[in-house]
Structure 1
Amino acid sequence: MTVDPDLDRPLTSIVDRVGDITKEGQVSLDRVVGAFEKTGFATMLIVPAAAVVTPLSGIPLFSSLCGVTICLIAAQWLMKRDRVWLPHWLGQQSLEGDKVRVAMNKLRPAARWLDKHSRARARFLFRQPLRALLPLSCLLFGALMPFLELVPFSSSLLGASVCLIAFSLLTRDGFFALAALLPLAIVVWALTALF
């Protein structure tokens, strides 16, 4: 798996790069995802996941579009595809560059904090069969987002979880993946307790 060239600050680097891309004005999803295609699936997952954590999630159906995008990227990662394919209707969805830049600026302090505090921990998560659990969880979280569109902040929480999982894959810091999987573990435990 290829990673972003700036290994010391991978998340901040992604946020800055999205900000640079959106200086062109209207920006399509194809354009944003395509800009990260060579850096690997984890990086591509961070882009829509981080976007849904921002105030952009208040735009009607934005969370659903991000969820579908996350789901498609994670599914193709699990299928070990070389490139990401997005349906034409999804790839052509666009946003005003100014709105995206404002959202990325709000994310930058959190991105810097995560970059500063990441280190190699809980590396057992990155060995098979556990490693497959990480993109599988991203697929599940992405698939749930359209169904939770009307529940306030639920998509943002799922987006944060996807972002942390992808970030942990970039930095090999399993601590963040464990923190992201905690909500899933609680849901599974609750369902098994009920049935």
Structure 2
Amino acid sequence: MSDPANLQQVLDRISQSAVRDRQVTFGDVIDTVGSRSFGPVLMTIGILLLSPISGIPGVPTLSGLLILFIAVQILVLQEGFWLPAWIMERHLPSDKLLKGIRFLEPAATFIDARLHPRLVLVVRGPGSYLLGGICVAIACAMPLMEIIPFSATAAGFALAVFGLAMISLDGLLALLGMLFTGSVATMILVNVL
């Protein structure tokens, strides 16, 4: 199966893995979106954090560990990535996952119609180091997001944007995601300090 080429394909594949009559594991979701590409996986983690799943205690921290594993591998330019079995075997509530996907589906067609390859160096080659570094910073902040309301949702949005930018090779979208991440980080720091 080829890697998904847009948001709708990622959502469709996640929906297929989240069958209501069984528990879905994170590994099931990763297998359906493609375990060779960083973009779909970052986007999937972002979508999970945008869903009601992010409200479950421990999910932001677990997501931070996943992001850290993946982002470090992006930085060393691995072909594909590896995640430990204890992460891949974690169960996700299918009903909440499907609810989050249904919420995002109306926007998928609108978003996919506006993305295309541009400013590719921002998401490939040297730009991938910058994206990886930002993802490491988000991952390190995730445990704090357990106590700051809605911050995990903002992180999920940023990760989904970065993943979608990598899938569509849209560097402009990645730059907008960086601007959003910087703005949210500044806002959190100003309010916490």
TM superposition score normalised by structure 2:
0.84
CA deviations on 1:114-157 (whole Å, 9 max, x unpaired) are 11211233334245433321122122212211222111111111
The correspondence for 2:65, drawn from 49, 65, 68, is 68
Q: CA contact under 8 A between 1:119 and 1:172: conserved in structure 2?
A: yes
What is the match of residue 11 of structure 1? Answer: 7
Q: 1:70 to 1:3 in 2, by over 3 A?
A: farther
CA deviations on 1:145-194 (whole Å, 9 max, x unpaired) are 12221111111111111111111111121221111101444558xx9xxx
Amino acid at match of 2:51: T
Looking at structure 2, the residues matched to 82 and 69 of structure 1 have their Cα atoms a distance apart, in angstroms, of 17
Looking at structure 2, the residues matched to 127 and 71 of structure 1 have their Cα atoms a distance apart, in angstroms, of 19
Q: Which stretch has the larger CA shift, 35-44 or 25-34? A: 35-44
Looking at structure 1, the residues matched to 172 and 2 of structure 2 have their Cα atoms a distance apart, in angstroms, of 19
CA deviations on 1:22-81 (whole Å, 9 max, x unpaired) are 115201112211333355111111111111011221111112212211221121222233
What RMSD over aligned residues (CA atoms) do the two structures have, in Å? 2.5
Looking at structure 1, the residues matched to 93 and 51 of structure 2 have their Cα atoms a distance apart, in angstroms, of 14
Q: CA contact under 8 A between 1:30 and 1:92: conserved in structure 2?
A: yes
Q: Does residue 121 of the first structure (1) align with residue 118 of the second (2)?
A: yes
- Counterparts of 1:11-160 in structure 2, within 5 Å, are 11-23=7-19, 25-126=22-123, 128-160=125-157
Query: What residue ranges of structure 1 are gaps of 5+ in the alignment?
Result: none
How many residue pairs match? The answer is 186
Q: Which stretch has the larger CA shift, 163-172 or 31-40? A: 31-40
Looking at structure 2, the residues matched to 139 and 94 of structure 1 have their Cα atoms a distance apart, in angstroms, of 24
Q: 1:60 to 1:171 in 2, by over 3 A?
A: same
Aligned-pair identity in percent equals: 29
Q: Which stretch has the larger CA shift, 129-138 or 26-35? A: 129-138
Looking at structure 2, the residues matched to 129 and 85 of structure 1 have their Cα atoms a distance apart, in angstroms, of 22
Query: What residue ranges of structure 2 are gaps of 5+ in the alignment?
Result: none
Q: CA contact under 8 A between 1:53 and 1:156: conserved in structure 2?
A: yes
